[in-house]
Structure 1
Amino acid sequence: MAHEIKLVTEAELRRTVHLDLEVIDCVEEAFAKLATGKVVMPPVLSMALPEANAEVDVKTAYVPGLEGFALKVSPGFFNNPSLGLPSLNGLMVLLSSTTGLVDAVFLDNGYLTDVRTAAAGAVSARHLARQDVDTIGILGTGVQAKLQLIAAAKVRPAARALIWGRDGDKAGLLAAEMKTTLGIDVAACPEPADLVAQSQLVITTTPARDPVLSADWLHPGLHITAMGSDQEDKNELDPKILAVADAIICDRISQCEKMGELRSALETGLLAGTGNVRELGDVISGASAGRQSDDDITVCDLTGTGVQDTAIATLALGKVRRANAGTTVLA
């Protein structure tokens, strides 16, 4: 008996799946389900290929109640730009939770990962940032800098945004683009300390291996979402930040201990343990407290989870089917 499989390209996904409130709500619900303890989510399979200056990550999660579960392969081959190729690509495969048969193959080159990552940042802001955010600060100038700002503005409509990058020209170009996209005042900020001082919500989106945000810059009411650290050698936040924060929230504690900002704080000894660390799903469900006052300093450490991939892939297949997009093959 033939089985239908949807093959969907990046271009088709970009026309069908957008960074909107539906996607943000979908990712939020996935984190809430993760908090129930019924989700099966193995540790990230990470393989370094030093001879090729590359790494490959594989993530997955089974979520009871969803029709499918995703297997995502994310290769990063960092010599590719010299060959005229992008350094990041990859795909997602969605399999039936009932039969294990392949329902869809998303040849997305990382697009769905970009969207679900930005959506997680919005979920963090929705539950941990102050209600009265006037200024959003972005550290970084890449794809996630752009998407995180778009997503954050959907849940914390701010009057303005500030962007800092090591390359001031890139920061200026991104600021001009975002001013047009969002219709608010967006400017490049030459000093990260000034950006933090003026912002109530700061999102770090860099591949930094040395901190780009100092504990000396903290101020009452600040929320920080750190999403750039997703490997054992990355570190965006001064580890002291986690030691003095009023609330530390992780997407997955066991994962952040190995590859997130939590890892750096624990390794330096500035954070004695994870006793006061909470997971985002528990904050969403109300099982754990997040921000408790407008003066709290809160930090969310996002490393990217398989449950997000399963959530976005399941949502994407529904949208693709309704739009009659992609190519159907029989297997």
Structure 2
Amino acid sequence: MVLMADRARRRREQSARALDHGVITSMKTLLLNREDVGSLISMKEVIGTVEEAYKAFNSGQVIQPAYTCIHLPPPRGEIDFKLAYCETNEIISMKASSGGFPNNPTEHGVPSGMGTVLLFDAKTCALICVMDGSLITGLRTGAAGAVSVRALARKNAKTITSIGTGNQARMQIRAIREVMTIESIHAWDDQLQALAQYKADIEREFGIPVVTARSKQDAVEQADILVTTTRGKGSLVEAAWVRPGTHIVAIGTDTQGKQELEPEIFRNAKIVNDSIAQCIEKGETWHPLHKNIIHGDDIHGEIGEILLGRKPGRETDDEITIFDATGMAIQDNTTANLIYRNAIARNTGMAFEFTCP
């Protein structure tokens, strides 16, 4: 314990020397670990910066190349590489994030999902920050769901259904409760132990009652807001189960081969994408397009267009709205930049020499 405290003290002293009145000195790169990242931003701040990201994207202030995904041989999963430049903050971000590595905890002692974010000063291309990215991915994805709820859900929505009970399912609740009052949650998971743990965790953390559903249908039929966060490989949610007026937050499909919703759900719904280019190629929207249930013109628009007032959000209490979120590099950019700025202001992290003059 003494050794750990001494290391922490030395780390703070190094950071204080390296951070000159809140500004990184020349040729210094700031290092932020997961603990640092978690202490430097709140969910309310993340929701704000994700809204900022969507608006910047639809205002022509973002360069965001198509992201690259590498699928590794089983039992390993995939690694995504996402890159973005934002004109408003003059930051280039690059994130590498992995998912679906089930043996990591037992064989390697690390999480099943990992992430790292690099920030570059766009004026010089200097590497200004390296930070843990696993928490950022969870935070900004949860925030995306909350942004869509504020823009597209009924104003009298009270009940959430969660299909999937993993970390992102929890993150969605943490975010959505910032923009609405949740009276109850109906949850389903094919793993009964995971379902029971979700109920215990949510009720302990938030005091929101959780009903563990006997079936997916029972859960979906109760939803004012339906959140899907699985790594589904087929239609988990059927069109006949979805009530008029439901808002669907479709999170789990972000690469070809994943699916959570029966494509028929899209036929008469208001479809909103985070990025149309991504969603028609890798998102839930691909499936009804592929089956000719909808066409490109049937996509209402992108969430940023609604936030900017260029297109309407929900227009009636009966319409079904779908937010298909594949995850955008610009969300990482604005969120990581705010974390970096907060770190500078609070003298948090360790600065080191990365580039020699």
TM-score by length of 2: 0.88
Q: Could you report, residue by residue, the CA deviation over 1:29-49 in whole angstroms, capped at 9, with x for unpaired residues?
A: 110111112311110112223
In structure 2, C-alpha distance between the alignment counterparts of 1:210 and 1:40, rounded to whole Å:
33
Query: Which residue does 2:219 correspond to in 1?
Result: 195
- Pair member with larger Rg: 2
Cα root mean square deviation, aligned: 1.7
Contact 1:249 1:299 in 2 (8 A): yes
Q: Does 1:105 align with 2:116?
A: no
**Runs of 5+ in structure 2 lacking a partner?**
1-24
**Greater alpha carbon shift after TM alignment, 7-16 vs 179-188:** 179-188
Q: Does 1:295 align with 2:318?
A: yes
In structure 1, C-alpha distance between the alignment counterparts of 2:304 and 2:42, rounded to whole Å:
23
Q: How does 1:25-36 map to 2 (within 5 A)?
A: 25-36=48-59
Counterparts in 2 of 1:53 and 1:180: CA distance versus 1, 3 Å: closer
Choose from 248, 254, 270 the match for 2:271.
Answer: 248
Choose from 233, 249, 267 the match for 1:225.
Answer: 249
Q: How does 1:261-272 map to 2 (within 5 A)?
A: 261-272=284-295
In structure 2, C-alpha distance between the alignment counterparts of 1:163 and 1:52, rounded to whole Å:
27
Choose from 96, 112, 124 the match for 1:73.
Answer: 96
Contact 1:162 1:175 in 2 (8 A): no
Q: How does 1:53-202 map to 2 (within 5 A)?
A: 53-76=76-99, 78=101, 79-81=103-105, 83-84=107-108, 85-108=110-133, 110-202=134-226
In structure 1, C-alpha distance between the alignment counterparts of 2:351 and 2:299, rounded to whole Å:
49
In structure 1, C-alpha distance between the alignment counterparts of 2:132 and 2:155, rounded to whole Å:
38
In structure 1, C-alpha distance between the alignment counterparts of 2:323 and 2:174, rounded to whole Å:
18
Partner of 1:17: helix, strand, or coil? Answer: coil
Choose from 13, 18, 37 the match for 2:37.
Answer: 13
User: How many percent of aligned residue pairs carry the same amino acid?
Assistant: 33
Choose from 242, 257, 261 the match for 2:280.
Answer: 257
**Runs of 5+ in structure 1 lacking a partner?**
none
Cα drift, residue 17 of structure 1 = 2.4
In structure 1, C-alpha distance between the alignment counterparts of 2:334 and 2:138, rounded to whole Å:
13
Q: Does 1:327 align with 2:350?
A: yes
Q: Could you report, residue by residue, the CA deviation over 1:59-104 in whole angstroms, capped at 9, with x for unpaired residues?
A: 1211111142210011346243451442211200011121110110
Contact 2:61 2:88 in 1 (8 A): no
In structure 2, C-alpha distance between the alignment counterparts of 1:76 and 1:156, rounded to whole Å:
30
In structure 2, C-alpha distance between the alignment counterparts of 1:169 and 1:3, rounded to whole Å:
50
In structure 2, C-alpha distance between the alignment counterparts of 1:3 and 1:265, rounded to whole Å:
50
**Greater alpha carbon shift after TM alignment, 72-81 vs 249-258:** 72-81
Cα drift, residue 2 of structure 1 = 4.2
Contact 1:164 1:191 in 2 (8 A): yes
Query: Which residue does 2:4 correspond to in 1?
Result: none
Matched residues, number:
328
Choose from 225, 233, 237 the match for 1:209.
Answer: 233
In structure 1, C-alpha distance between the alignment counterparts of 2:245 and 2:77, rounded to whole Å:
39
Counterparts in 2 of 1:28 and 1:216: CA distance versus 1, 3 Å: same
Query: Which residue does 2:61 correspond to in 1?
Result: 38
